[in-house]
Structure 1
């Protein structure tokens, strides 16, 4: 049953609905003690009667309460009243990544920033021993202060990193997943997740790659006319390279995403930490990593003009240097000599005197 405005849950007053997901309804509410706006997530009544669903809901609360990170939605409180189970969460203004993607692909700079934020949040969760398992655009909120990762309702302790987790949490996780049920949103699931195999942090790496692809191109990495065709694409097909859909996208980002989407978990990036470092490197390296400048074509034209002008000036200087520095050919020598006339020679008036070839 939906809650109406004015309903009280302990010290929290419902103001209105925000949305609903597979694991609960979300309301905007007011904390009457601290006079601040918060979000309350409630497990629907028909699910609250299911011990398994209720246990998973409570597990999300315990999971999120142990995660403290600027890119993860904070959890403030948990409670139940008259059979209503709820958690009190940080209220976030803004829009979901799903809403943003409905308007088209994101600019490269925004893809790199949002991607690095998500990777940072996953890095923190994985370090704590938690695998999200349901990473999708609807679970990413874009706010004025940055990106926030939401909804750890399907999260579970990582089999590799969960040594620090409490024994009861491990037992609960096992009881909820021992039948290897497929949980998550299948368009963003890794192959091993679709097959019901054991999942680990690399499962989230695959989903992050799908998000990066969709943010870059505005299209899903794996799509089809039916659920079966989408699953088949995830299991056996490769998405078109980002560069073929967005020519200005940096090649380094395309390679990073391809690595995230490897079918074999051993061939993917092994940690969210590595993915974050790669995204930050592409962002900071700029054109050196293949990121086009905002006015790249204009910059190239100016560069060509500058180089042509410099070459012309160099040729002019070289020509002038050759003309004034190279020595000119020496002047021709004048040969002067005296010829004595033969004895008895008398010049003829107005005549022309000439020498015979033999002298």
Structure 2
């Protein structure tokens, strides 16, 4: 569908892209002098109530997230029976564009994945599994200081964790999706950890974790270590391969754990095992005092006995 030339104070500029369910357009807010993106549901789906509901639920999820690393939604509406929502415009394209010139430098990959991980963690705190994290869904937007901000986008296949255990529809992109997504069994946030790892592997090596369709997920295997296929420091190998483990129980437990391990690898440090916390000074002191009391009591008792 070609949206109208004007949507209220918004003026249509160009079409950004189109997919199976929706088309995204670039508009300009003349009053605020700012570009925005408008996502409109495709004509052939606009009459399907269930699809419209899912489309609007995506807008609601993005609105609730309200994060610097998740696409923000500013408004929703309807044009000639077709629902749309107004959202952030990513003027630098997507992470997929960075792969046009081959592998991305490790320090840049760590920055990109750390930002993406922050956005994914926000969605997880809201009970949402993205389920289709890939370079095309990690948008890039310029910042006032000349930097680049990563925005997690396209939640069209996202679903609340509360209902994920009953999921039967296979969704996602096979080259990045977790093996358990192909079986239709219950998912948790570690499916998104796998996808982040797959994106990181692709960025670092220029190679996909796996080729082929859904069938390639039936007997998943780990890819070669990144340092074996590209000039990548070996410190990244264990971190990436753990994120890509076929069994969710063997992966990093969440996005922050994974990205923290990546930063440690970049600094040449051995990542601390997930779920293991270093004891604070308080518990150490209490334990030491307890040992001293026991030793003192034993010595005192022995002295009394010998008198």
The normalised TM-score by structure 2 is 0.81
Match of 1:198 among 186, 198, 209: 186
**Secondary structure, in 3 states, of the residue corresponding to 2:121?**
helix
Are 2:221 and 2:246, in contact at CA under 8 Å, matched by a contact in 1? no
1:227-285 Cα distance to aligned partner (Å, 9 max, x none): 255334xx3322111111124x22232111111111111111111121121122223x2
Residue aligning to 1:52: 50
Residue aligning to 1:28: 26
Structure 1 position 268 matched with structure 2 position 231: no
**Per-residue deviation, 1:93:** 0.7
**Per-residue deviation, 1:212:** 0.8
**Secondary structure, in 3 states, of the residue corresponding to 1:186?**
coil
Structure 1 position 236 matched with structure 2 position 220: yes
Match of 1:125 among 120, 123, 126: 123
1:43-75 Cα distance to aligned partner (Å, 9 max, x none): 011111111211110110010000122211111
Residue aligning to 1:146: 149
1:154-193 Cα distance to aligned partner (Å, 9 max, x none): 111123xxxxxxxxxxxxx67xx95611112222211111
> What is the root-mean-square deviation of aligned Cα atoms in Å?
2.0
Residue aligning to 1:77: 75
How many angstroms apart in 2 are the aligned matches of 1:64 and 1:94?
A: 20
Residue aligning to 1:157: 160
How many angstroms apart in 2 are the aligned matches of 1:12 and 1:80?
A: 14
Residue aligning to 1:298: none
**Per-residue deviation, 1:34:** 2.6
Cα separation, partners in 2 of 1:279 and 1:157, compared to 1, 3 Å: same
Return 5+ residue gaps in structure 1 as ranges: 160-172, 291-359
How many angstroms apart in 1 are the aligned matches of 2:186 and 2:39?
A: 28
Cα separation, partners in 2 of 1:45 and 1:69, compared to 1, 3 Å: same
How many angstroms apart in 2 are the aligned matches of 1:22 and 1:178?
A: 24
**Per-residue deviation, 1:211:** 0.5
How many angstroms apart in 2 are the aligned matches of 1:236 and 1:51?
A: 36
Cα separation, partners in 2 of 1:179 and 1:289, compared to 1, 3 Å: closer
Q: How does 1:307-326 map to 2 (within 5 A)?
A: none
Return 5+ residue gaps in structure 2 as ranges: 143-147, 272-307
How many angstroms apart in 2 are the aligned matches of 1:151 and 1:127?
A: 18
How many angstroms apart in 1 are the aligned matches of 2:166 and 2:40?
A: 26
**Per-residue deviation, 1:143:** 3.2
1:3-54 Cα distance to aligned partner (Å, 9 max, x none): 4xx6122332211100112331000002244332110000011111111211
Return the index of the structure with the highest Cα Rg.
1
Residue aligning to 1:211: 199
* Runs ≥4 residues deviating over 3 A: 228-232, 287-290
Q: How does 1:271-282 map to 2 (within 5 A)?
A: 271-282=254-265
**Per-residue deviation, 1:289:** 5.7
**Secondary structure, in 3 states, of the residue corresponding to 1:216?**
helix
Cα separation, partners in 2 of 1:136 and 1:228, compared to 1, 3 Å: closer
How many angstroms apart in 2 are the aligned matches of 1:142 and 1:11?
A: 25
Residue aligning to 1:103: 101
Structure 1 position 254 matched with structure 2 position 237: yes
What is the count of residue pairs matched by the alignment?
Answer: 266
The normalised TM-score by structure 1 is 0.70
How many angstroms apart in 2 are the aligned matches of 1:103 and 1:195?
A: 35
